[in-house]
Amino acid sequence: MNPSLQSELVLLPVAGVRLATAAAGIKKSANEDLLLIEIADHSQVAAVFTANRFAAAPVELCRQYLQEAKPRYLLINSGNANCGLGAAGLEAARICCESVASAAAVSLESVLPFSTGVIAEPLPAQKIVTAVPDLLKSLDSDQWVAGADAIRTTDTVAKGGSRVIDIDGVAVTITGICKGSGMIRPNMATMLAYIATDAAVADEVLQPLLNRAVGRSFNCISVDGDMSTNDACLLIATGKAGNPELGPEMAEPWRRFEQAVTELCTELAQLIVRDGEGATKFITIQVRGAAGDADARAVAEAVAHSPLVKTAFFASDANWGRILAAVGYAPIANLDINKVEIFLGDVCIVRNGARADEYEEAAGAAVMAQGDITLTIDLHSGDGRLDFWTCDLSYDYVRINAEYRT
């Protein structure tokens, strides 16, 4: 299931950000596999990374370097995760960063490395080093689509989006790209995402903004329930638009800016699910009436991660007992099953914890056969709620991952 309109992807330049791509020979194919992003001096940068304790070498270095300097360059390779290699992986990532820092005359710590691809294979650092001079010469503000393409692994399409909003009469641009198709689950899903805006944003509020946006988007998706070692999401604010510096004290402009960033993150997150490995169905899980938002998330994740639920959706099989079972084993403290309602689209399949009197198999099967499906679970226990997105699990998912290294 390819995301709609991605063949017509158009992304807007962001003042203060330039990009360049290259085919360094990291991937087995001859496709471009390297992206360099240059960030204007004095930009603000926020970042979120995987919660996996086997975090890849570039993630470790990013966390360290972000404490020591403002980023000026992001160096991203696809085709190799540089993970599970111990000190050798860290050294390879440093070598790559040093090559950019030396050529661009910036500090080592201002170059952040990112990798995605096969785990536990040595990173061919020299191939990246060799490509760096040409990357620096090729930097251009209008290379977002090429950048989205270069960071793909099993993705079938490049993924990105743009927004323009008005802030006190100033047009502010927000553009983002991401990659991800498999090994996707909450706590950052295998995904990389880079979002940039030319808005001026107060440094102290950018990280909390990104945390909230990620919590409602990239941390609300699952393809297969596997958490990556390499996930990263960066939000860059260059300040080049010339707007009054944004912060919560600006009330309405700040609300609209945060809404635009969150909407773009949500769009990118949903594109990842729509391009899930082997996916044929896009499923929105709406949990309502939970005792709290944490309970709503627990229920949504239990359903979204269930192989039995996902294979039923693939088969268009209205075997809704699998959904009921997943709700029942969700790790929440209190669940009154006699209050639970479940809907497939507009079709009520469960009311008061049992099969709805009016439910007919044909109606449920008709919804299951659709490409886009909404599953609503109402616990009638409080005000907690969450929207979560997942896909089905198909024969192709097994094939893609069985053949991944061959």
SS (H, E, C) 261-311: HHHHHHHHHHHHHHCCCCCCCEEEEEEEEECCHHHHHHHHHHHHHCHHHHH
Q: How confident is the model at residue 128, as a pLDDT?
A: 98
Q: Would the CA dihedral through 232, 238, 241, 242 be positive or negative?
A: positive
Q: How confident is the model at residue 185, as a pLDDT?
A: 62
Q: Is 282-402 the same fold as 6-274?
A: no
- φ/ψ (deg, to 5) at 368: -60, -25
Q: Which two tokens stand for residue 232?
A: 């990263």
Question: Catalytic site residue 190?
Answer: yes
Q: Bin 353: left if φ > 0, else alpha if -120 < ψ < 50, else beta.
A: left
Q: How confident is the model at residue 379, as a pLDDT?
A: 98
What string of pLDDT tens digits covers the 406 residues of the chain? Answer: 654 434 589 999 999 999 999 999 999 888 999 999 999 999 999 999 988 888 999 999 999 999 999 999 999 999 999 999 999 999 999 999 999 999 999 999 999 999 999 889 999 999 999 999 999 999 999 999 999 999 998 899 999 999 999 999 999 999 999 998 765 566 654 589 999 999 999 999 999 999 999 999 999 998 876 667 788 999 999 999 999 999 999 999 999 999 999 999 999 999 999 998 888 999 999 999 999 999 999 999 999 999 999 999 999 999 999 999 999 999 999 999 999 999 999 999 999 999 999 999 999 999 999 999 999 999 999 999 999 999 999 888 878 778 766 5
- Give 60's Cβ-side CA count (13 Å radius): 19
Surface-to-core class of residue 284, CB atoms within 10 Å of its CB (0-12 exposed, 13-18 middle, 19+ buried)? middle
CATH architecture label of 282-402: Roll (3.10)
CATH architecture label of 6-274: 4-Layer Sandwich (3.60)
Bridge partners, 38 (sequence order): 18, 73
Q: How confident is the model at residue 29, as a pLDDT?
A: 87
**293 vs 81: CA distance, rounded Å:** 33
Q: Bin 184: left if φ > 0, else alpha if -120 < ψ < 50, else beta.
A: beta
Q: How confident is the model at residue 212, as a pLDDT?
A: 96
Q: How confident is the model at residue 5, as a pLDDT?
A: 39
Q: Would the CA dihedral through 400, 227, 193, 330 be positive or negative?
A: positive
Q: Which two tokens stand for residue 405?
A: 């290294």
**With contact defined as beta carbons under 8 Å apart, do 233 and 210 qualify?**
yes
Let me know the angle formed at the C-alpha of 303 by 302 and 308, rounded to the nearest 5 degrees: 110
Domain-by-domain residue ranges, the chain? Answer: 6-274, 282-402
Residue found by looking up tokens 């010469």 in the block: 137
Residue found by looking up tokens 């020299």 in the block: 126
Tell me which of 190, 197, 262, 390 is the catalytic residue. 190
Q: How confident is the model at residue 52, as a pLDDT?
A: 84
**276 vs 96: CA distance, rounded Å:** 30
Q: How confident is the model at residue 51, as a pLDDT?
A: 83
Residue found by looking up tokens 């107060």 in the block: 202
**181 vs 197: CA distance, rounded Å:** 25
